[in-house]
Structure 1
């Protein structure tokens, strides 16, 4: 990288801070800070959600997966997204929006009591802070390996810039900076793909030399339930469905921005748009992996440029940045570095804002403050807690090196231990009347324990199934314990507004014809399967 490249990076980072200061001028209280005053456009929320999902782990890990692990089979994971959006739109987000809450765990207190709320909030805070430390570590180690910037300096640059603009701008800064980051990120991906295609000899040449196993995007022949095939169709569809419903519908980092919309209809529209637009994004960065896999076939010396892992194998997680810094012109290299920064910052900013929200709402205001804080004090505490969690997440990045060697799989695998159980806790609250907090906590502990047992003693079972297994175990055992210890006796007297109603249109006062949107998403899933079949037919000529 030269002066031009670093100038591009510097202009981008300083612009993020300026934008946040501008957006933060109108903030008056914690609702403005954490929910953007409930006047954020649904399309911006959808793009922000996509940006958070497309972290550095995805940008680097998905092409690496295509090159060295399972080819385009990763795209099967995306089939679950539109179906998961339907589940979230029907059973989860409308309840949270109706309760006028900031922390999603506030709903659990209304339904199950303060113990369940506190337990789930603290669990979220620890797991999300730790996982974000992995993300910060990943991008910082990449910057160190390809630019020579010391690891700790890379961590501090990324962390300090994100903390500053998040502290001043709150949720609006998170969302609108994510929109800009998504544009930059997709532009960087597109430029990288263009150069990879051109240097390999064109799109037709790529598919003619690409090994058939890399081009195959569908695996109906295996089930992943003991056959050692992790990335078969059914575990990726079913396991992915439960993972995405949990992530989009129960994770504070996602729910909080979805609650920033004007009303329930806009909340659901943000989910609908995300369900439609995510697939083209993921296809694009997986195609980068396809192009690089073909490039390596024609230029095997490129592998020598990759730094070796501790096991002595080429680190394909570095394939994208090393390709870009080697073959792209200066200025464009700066754009790619900005894209890497964008991918990491879009994950970090939403995380520290949501961690701040849950700490203030579920811990500070719930246990340490009598009465309500005035608006000025709310805003001050919110910003201070944002800084605190930013420091914690950055601090974690110095201690997670042994976890993040396989970037994209490690993040999803760790999350899958608990995703299904977390989802089941909310489903117990929303879909049943007899479930209570005691049963819910017992259920989540058993669900997590069962998945941990499978990880240690049955590695031949696809970790994608853990999302489904954890949900079923937690829901079943949680309901059983609830009935045994008292069921309805431990619940609030009137829970009519807290459980699912068949007459959803009247219950939530919908203005849009949502069954039509659900049908579109189902049709879109079928279309995606058809597209994966077409993509699979392109390869296999080598």
Structure 2
């Protein structure tokens, strides 16, 4: 065990303190939840500061703290810049959030919109895509927790993965969206402060000149702005990030939960604040060669470099930062996915006249079930974080145009919207396996756009927007 790794006892103490603090706070915040609307949407009255913090913290996840360094380590400059472009998802969703709240003032989920706008076929395709993405993201977050512990301490991957799931399931179960948003607010402050400190220490300790000289000698391709695969990744990640946010109930549920007029301002602000963070977290991976570090897995490079720079105390510091980032995303995903399953599966398909109490109980059972299911899949660690996340790019990018046209273009019908999602996902997956993960989202988005445009050109029907307001 190297001198910058956490001891077993220290790591366990941090886990216990984290668990007690977050779960206890979750119970406190959720003690007055009485209805499914209180639990799932925090009473639809979240203010600007909390709204901005939860949007930004949720998007600072294993992608930003572990996968951004991984892809910088693999693709160099384009890796960090490519991840920073995911900020466009938050920024472009800002006007959509306002439109969503106007059209469905009493909506609960993204599935509500798809069902009412397009009908059952497109809704079924959308739910399948949403659940595939949600489980992929949940599993990647569980894996990231395990990787974090195993790279910073001698605790096992399974211990770290189990700990983050138990903690996040615990406070999400007890507090609902109120607990998720409140903890995100604190976690966003911790994350931003920590990232800035680590970057400053990296620059001060290693220096730009040393890093550039070492990379030029040992890994010149990482500085090559004409690196073909990296350029493709850059553009692929733009569509991947937009598709992730546009379709996911994580972001739709917040559009419904934020107070009137808050959504557009908070998403725009969160996107601008988030933009430089992947550049900073990715940047430290470029110091690996200068520090003579060779990570056993590319997705462990970030915490290993940071711990090397900051020593044993730094390992604790990095542990807290990355664990906060993972928790801020996992809790949001647990809450949003359980809402989707409760409202779109339990209520729409099985118990259409369910009471608020029944839905509240179902929601909580589903949170537990999601935690157990994620643990069972993440325990096998079937792929790296980057590979797992980018696999879902083919799914989510196919939903971009059906959602955009669904909100603004009255001529697109449910049949063509559903076909666009199926064809886009299928072609994106073919590209993923035949060419590489860095083209899956581009292909998926392009095919979906073609299908939507054909559907709009041949359609003679016009959807009446007031139907959404009346049903919502």
**Structure 2 length as normaliser, TM-score?**
0.87
Cα distance in 2, alignment partners of residues 412 and 97 from structure 1? 32
Q: In 1, distance between residues paired with 2:84 and 2:308?
A: 34
C-alpha distance after superposition, 1:80-130 (max 9, x if no partner): 456544532334652255302111111111111133223312331133113
In the other structure, the counterpart of 1:77 is 82
Q: Which residue of 2 aligns with 1:398?
A: 379
Say whether the 8 Å CA contact 2:58–2:329 is kept in structure 1: yes
Where does the alignment leave 5 or more consecutive residues of structure 1 unmatched?
223-228, 308-314, 500-542
User: Map of 1:44-123 to 2, 5 A cutoff?
Assistant: 44-66=50-72, 68-77=73-82, 80-81=85-86, 83-85=88-90, 87-91=92-96, 93-99=98-104, 100-123=106-129
Tell me the distance in 2 between the aligned counterparts of 1:98 and 1:467.
28
The 1-side partners of 2:439 and 2:322 are apart by 31
**Mapped contact 2:339–2:363 kept (Cα < 8 A):** yes
1:162 aligns with 2:168: yes
Contact 1:54-1:343 within 8 A present in 2 as well:
yes
Q: Which range moves more in the overlay, 81-90 or 471-480?
A: 81-90
Pair 1:475-2:455 in alignment: no
Counterparts of 1:235 and 1:151, CA distance in 2: 29
Q: Which has the larger radius of gyration?
A: 1
Higher mean alpha-carbon deviation, 341-350 vs 474-483, is at 474-483
Corresponding residue for residue 20 of structure 2? 14
C-alpha RMSD of the superposition: 3.0
Cα distance 1:159–1:277, how it changes in 2: closer, same or farther (>3 A)?
same
Residues 428 and 479 of structure 1 are in contact (CA less than 8 Å); yes or no, is this contact kept in structure 2? no
Say if 1:256 and 1:354, in contact at 8 Å, map to a contact too.
Answer: yes
Distance 1:189 1:90 in 2: 29
Q: Residue 74 of structure 1 contacts residue 217 of structure 1 at CA under 8 Å; is this kept in 2?
A: no
Q: Does 1:42 align with 2:48?
A: yes
CA distance in 2, matches of 1:435, 1:243: 23
Q: Show the counterpart of 1:378.
A: 359
Match of 1:389 among 357, 370, 374: 370
Provide the C-alpha distance between the structure 2 equivalents of 1:281 and 1:258, rounded to a whole number of angstroms: 23
Residues in 1 aligned to 2:224 and 2:267: alpha-carbon distance in whole angstroms:
26
Over 3 Å counting, the alpha-carbon distance change for 1:428 and 1:258 in structure 2 is: closer
Shift, 1:38, TM fit: 1.4
Q: Deviations over 1:3-46 (max 9, x none)?
A: 45543443232111111111102211111111111122223222
Partners of 1:165 and 1:173 within 8 A in 2: yes
TM-score by length of 1: 0.76
Matched, 1:423 2:412: no
Give the 3 Å change call, closer, same or farther, for CA 258–450 of structure 1 in structure 2: same
Q: Matched residues in 2 for 1:388 and 1:78: separation? A: 31
Secondary structure class of the residue paired with 1:65:
helix
Identify if the C-alpha distance between structure 1 residues 93 and 363 changes in structure 2 by more than 3 Å, giving closer, same or farther.
farther
User: Are 1:243 and 2:240 matched, yes or no?
Assistant: yes
Secondary structure at 1:69 match in 2: helix
Change (3 A) 1:89 1:54: closer
Q: Is the 8 A contact 1:103 1:357 kept in 2?
A: yes
Q: 1:446 to 1:376 in 2, by over 3 A?
A: closer
For 2:331 and 2:215, how far apart are their aligned partners in 1? 38
1:539 counterpart residue number: none
User: Which residue in the other structure is 2:465 paired with?
Assistant: 495
Aligned match of 2:434: 457
Other structure's SS at 2:31 match: helix
Q: How far apart in 1 are the matches of 2:22 and 2:203?
A: 32
Q: Are the aligned partners of 2:237 and 2:438 in contact in 1 as well (CA < 8 Å)?
A: yes
**Counterpart Cα distance in 2 of 1:93 and 1:330:** 46
Residue by residue over 1:314-362, the C-alpha shift from the partner in whole angstroms, topping out at 9 and shown as x without a partner, is x343233334555645444223222232222222211111111011110
Residue in 2 aligned with 1:267? 263
Distance verdict in 2 for CA 1:23–1:471, change over 3 Å: same
| Higher mean displacement: 173-182 or 329-338 | 329-338
Please give the secondary structure, in 2, of the residue aligned with 1:26: coil
Structure 2: 5+ residue stretches without partners: 1-5
Q: How does 1:202-221 map to 2 (within 5 A)?
A: 202=207, 205-206=210-211, 210-211=215-216, 219=225
Query: Take 1:129 and 1:106, find their aligned partners in 2: how far apart are those partners?
Result: 20
Verify the 8 A CA contact 1:4 1:330 in the aligned structure 2: no
After superposing the two structures, state which structure 1 stretch, 379-388 or 30-39, moved more.
Answer: 379-388
**What is the distance in 1 between the residues matched to 2:205 and 2:68?**
21
CA distance in 2, matches of 1:12, 1:456: 40
CA deviation string 1:359-405 (max 9, x = no partner): 111011112224240x3333222222211212222222123x2322x
Q: CA deviation at 1:79?
A: 6.2
Contact 2:281-2:302 at 8 Å conserved across structures: no
CA deviation digits over 1:44-65, x for unaligned, max 9?
2222222222222431222233
Question: 1:354 corresponds to which residue?
Answer: 336
2:3 is matched with: none
User: How many residues are matched?
Assistant: 461
1:390-430 CA-to-partner distances (Å, cap 9, x unmatched) read 2222222123x2322xx33x244213212221112213423
CA contact (8 A) 2:338 2:363 kept: yes
Q: Provide the residue aligned with 1:414 in structure 2.
A: 391
